[in-house]
Structure 1
Amino acid sequence: MYDSILVPTDGSEGAEAAARHGLNLATAFDSQIHFLSVVDERSYSSALADLDPTVGEQREGFEQQATEAVECLEEMVTEPPVTCQTAVKHGVPHEEIRSYAADHDIDLISMGTQGRTGLDRLLLGSVTERVVRTSDVPVLTTRHEPDRSRYDRILIPTDGSEAATAAIAHGVAIADRFDSTVHALSVVDVGGVVGAYDAGPGIPELIDSLEEECEQAVTVVEEECENRDIDIVTEVVQGPPYRAIQEYVDREGIDFVSMGTHGRTGLERYLIGSVTERTVRTSDVPVLTVR
């Protein structure tokens, strides 16, 4: 599933954490891993670089930092069958990342959610969020380095939407490689339902209908896991989706989350962009987002 994995880096701890997770998956899937560092061309004036020695020196300094960042990650690749390729580009970071992914047939991007601070930052939260929102390939985001190289418990939040269904295939494939237990969770956003309507006799029936849809959504995950002989736990809960996901991760000791970037539209939506973004920003475990 993942023949080529891209890890953008700015030399920060967040990027190194993303590289560790990228290497975990590369080892499991026999992938080639790519390390890319992007010098933000907006941090210097390329038009003046040839005229003003100070600007030229600044550009060279940024490029040296970028080169050191990819070389540092390259040293992590110590065991076959994983091979690596490195590159330094100049441009707008999120655009260069997407362009590199397209040009090199990348199957997954692994990024940190926090990068450098100050004028020398190359990758930062907003860059990661833009890649998550716009990437045509799945994006794995992480805040922390893994304590180990395994993912024993993988959570797949689902609302039955097309994006959530796409995330199932990725979560199950990773579970298969790591011999993990899959946890399928669907959340009935009762607060959203009540807030959308005046309280009335139709509310209980509507909630029952939504719970039934959630049950159907986790059943899809259950069937996929049973077809591949993967252990599965299913649960349907009520509450705010983002909070329910976070609480489930903490309670069940989840190691990895696979979820869609867009969910249902309208009043019955459970997993929408804002929920995914909040999960990406705050999760202590890696989150794979799939469009």
Structure 2
Amino acid sequence: MKVNHILVPIDFSEYSEQATQYAIFLAEHYGAEITLLHAVVLFHEDISEKAQVEQYQKLAEMKEKEIHEKMVQQHEVVSERGVQVKTEIRRGINAAEVILEYASEAQPDLIVIGTHGRSGLKKWIYGSVAEKVVRSSPIPVLTVHHSLESFSIKKILVPVDFSEQSQQAIKTANDIARDFSATPYFLHVIEHEIHPAYYTAEVVSLFEIDPELKERAKKRLQEFVGVSDESRIMVTEGKAFREILNYIEEEQIDLTVMGARSGSGLEHFLVGSTADRVVRLAPCPVLTVGREEQ
């Protein structure tokens, strides 16, 4: 995987601090340059009164000075580690759009961004900047959870659904595995629901209905990923995002690499995608690749 330039959006929170530290970890390994980007979000307010205009200008000037000082501090944090770094401050009405526009202009090899890991109604209504960037960026996005305790890449998980995006994720994961002398693991989750006709028979697993299903899926997965080592191949059933999260926890995965499909419309808004949920809830960093241009 070619990583010469890493873009790190920062908002000076603990979430972005963790992302910055992980970006430094990657930059040290790849010899990459880091750009720290802060998006100044502009609010639409009625400031037609002269006194309001003057007050707004004073507040804006104070904010600008505070942001500049914080960016200088963050620059020092990175440069002290021997990593080449530059800072950018851009303005806009939406942080995610600012990040995506700058990424389109600068063309980094990777975006590393912190995620809040929120869930529930607040998360459902408001979403997060990280998830909006993941959904829309044609550039690979690596999300870092704020609770990450150590930085290492020894075990890599690739969830596989046999799509073109999965193929890209497999290639990327294999590249990273070579770069870090890590081991990639491959997981396929069968999500088909059991027909109500089987309820009275107390059948709880598709594998009970079709005993050969698991072996067929496992063979297909081995052929798709080009791996014969069965210890690195897993087929299970259930909700994909839950099974992926369970595997990450049980196997202590250091990095998950996922292919992401473009999603839009009501279905995506209400349900979200497997990648969205894994990005939000995974304890390990998640690298999302294969997003089509929007």
Band of TM-score, shorter chain: 0.7 to 0.9
More deviation, 142-151/249-258: 142-151
For 1:158, give the aligned amino acid: V
**Could you tell me whether the CA contact under 8 Å between 1:188 and 1:207 is conserved in 2?**
no
Query: Residue 61 of structure 2 aligns with which residue?
Result: 60
1:221 paired to 2:208: no
SS of equivalent residue, structure 1 residue 184: strand
Give the deviation of 1:125 after TM superposition: 5.1
Give the deviation of 1:114 after TM superposition: 2.3
Sort the Cα spacing of 1:43 and 1:25 in 2 relative to 1 into closer, same or farther, 3 A: farther
Per-residue CA deviations over 1:91-111 (Å, capped at 9, x if unaligned) read 021111011111111111111
1:248 paired to 2:250: no
More deviation, 235-244/213-222: 213-222
Per-residue CA deviations over 1:252-290 (Å, capped at 9, x if unaligned) read 1111111112299xxxxxxx9521111111111111111
For 1:35-114, list aligned pairs within 5 A. 35-42=36-43, 52-77=53-78, 78-80=80-82, 82-91=83-92, 92-114=94-116
1:32 paired to 2:33: yes
More deviation, 276-285/61-70: 61-70
SS of equivalent residue, structure 2 residue 17: helix
CA distance in 1, matches of 2:69, 2:154: 33
**Could you tell me whether the CA contact under 8 Å between 2:218 and 2:233 is conserved in 1?**
no
Compute the RMSD of aligned alpha carbons. 3.2
1:162 paired to 2:164: yes
What's the TM-score, normalizing by structure 2? 0.78
For 1:283, give the aligned amino acid: A
What's the TM-score, normalizing by structure 1? 0.79
Residues matched between the structures, number: 264
Q: Rg: which structure is higher? A: 2
For 1:100, give the aligned amino acid: Y
CA distance in 1, matches of 2:70, 2:284: 23
Give the deviation of 1:112 after TM superposition: 0.9
Per-residue CA deviations over 1:104-123 (Å, capped at 9, x if unaligned) read 111111111129xxxxxxxx
For 1:275, give the aligned amino acid: T
Give the deviation of 1:49 after TM superposition: 9.6
Query: Residue 193 of structure 1 aligns with which residue?
Result: 193
Ranges in structure 1 where 5+ consecutive residues have no aligned partner? 116-123, 265-271
Overall identity of the aligned pairs, in %: 31
CA distance in 1, matches of 2:149, 2:226: 28
